[in-house]
Structure 1
């Protein structure tokens, strides 16, 4: 697999607007298949260092969802190739069926800003994982700063997106163990239904 350089940048106010524009495009293309569209990943955490790529989570009732896939493809989205785009990293602590972490990944149309559209099933652990990551790092500035520093040092050490991701996945599981403690202490849980206005 060819090397892909890593470019991290300081958090930008424009990322929120970029997400909203991409989410509107997704809702218009995918129609009623969409339960919810979330801004996830580091660009969704104010103050976090991140790659200038918007990560979006699209929640659906089932996979595959032909209506959603047909709608996105017709609107210029493309399927991201590779088996790693069909299932999220499964944490070592997970004791259930690995298929609970299944997903689909699309890329936005070529004339829009770079992004990753992760399509996941409502109520599955990968939906929770993505949202808890965002909420925990938003709420905890010390952990947010430490995670940003870790990413910067990792990017400088490996210089290639492929090993960067392979190392970051298990490190994320350590981070998420702390996030689960925070969720238990605060009573946080992911949204149970579609927010008003969707």
Structure 2
């Protein structure tokens, strides 16, 4: 388990070498951002993803959880389910990537410098599978953020507004999803601060 300090301290996800790209060859960020109204089908998509992952990896799955906006009832979101998968060693791709690829997932991102993160995508149901190790604080942060939004309608409404504004600005500028995330950054950190305090992680 990560320490309290590790959970509340955000590690820069920028690669140490500016020439290093996190994107696997032939992959890259998608242009444009679609924000859909809340849809109960997203919970079913998550269960389908769980079945695919567990069927592929069995006991190599140390944890699976539905995170991101599709995991918060009533929150508009990109119609793509975000799922955190915990494995023993995300750097040991041979232990899980081939099996997931046989289940229809495609590796898009490799970030060994950022908690060992890998991102695999699934086309139907549409899903982003984020792979981390058992000591990654990012998994804990995702869950805290999700649970805070589920229980706090004011911040849920704030985040919904910011998501829509960020998507509109990104689409108007013909930019990709990384620009969308940058536009949300300040409010996301503001919400995290409240969630950390409520969890007793900060004073």
TM-score range, shorter chain: 0.7 to 0.9
Match in the other structure for 1:28: 55
TM-score computed with the length of structure 1 as normaliser: 0.78
DSSP-derived class of the 1:20 partner:
helix
Unaligned runs of 5+ in 1: 88-98, 186-198
Range 161-170 or range 70-79, more displaced: 161-170
Q: CA deviation at 1:140?
A: 0.6
**Alpha-carbon separation, structure 2, partners of 1:2 and 1:100:** 18
Q: CA deviation at 1:30?
A: 1.6
DSSP-derived class of the 1:7 partner:
coil
Match in the other structure for 1:196: none
List 4+ stretches of structure 1 deviating above 3 A.
Answer: none
**Alpha-carbon separation, structure 1, partners of 2:91 and 2:117:** 9
1:77-117 Cα deviation digits (max 9, x unpaired)? 11104xxx416xxxxxxxxxxx4633111111x4x221100
Q: Is structure 2 residue 116 aligned with structure 1 residue 136?
A: no
Match in the other structure for 1:147: 159
What is the root-mean-square deviation of aligned Cα atoms in Å?
2.0
Q: CA deviation at 1:132?
A: 0.8
Relative to structure 1, the CA distance from residue 2 to residue 50 in structure 2 (aligned partners, 3 Å threshold; closer, same or farther) is closer
Structure 1 counterpart of 2:182, from 163, 166, 178 = 166
Relative to structure 1, the CA distance from residue 151 to residue 80 in structure 2 (aligned partners, 3 Å threshold; closer, same or farther) is same
Unaligned runs of 5+ in 2: 1-27
Contact 2:91 2:116 in 1 (8 A): no
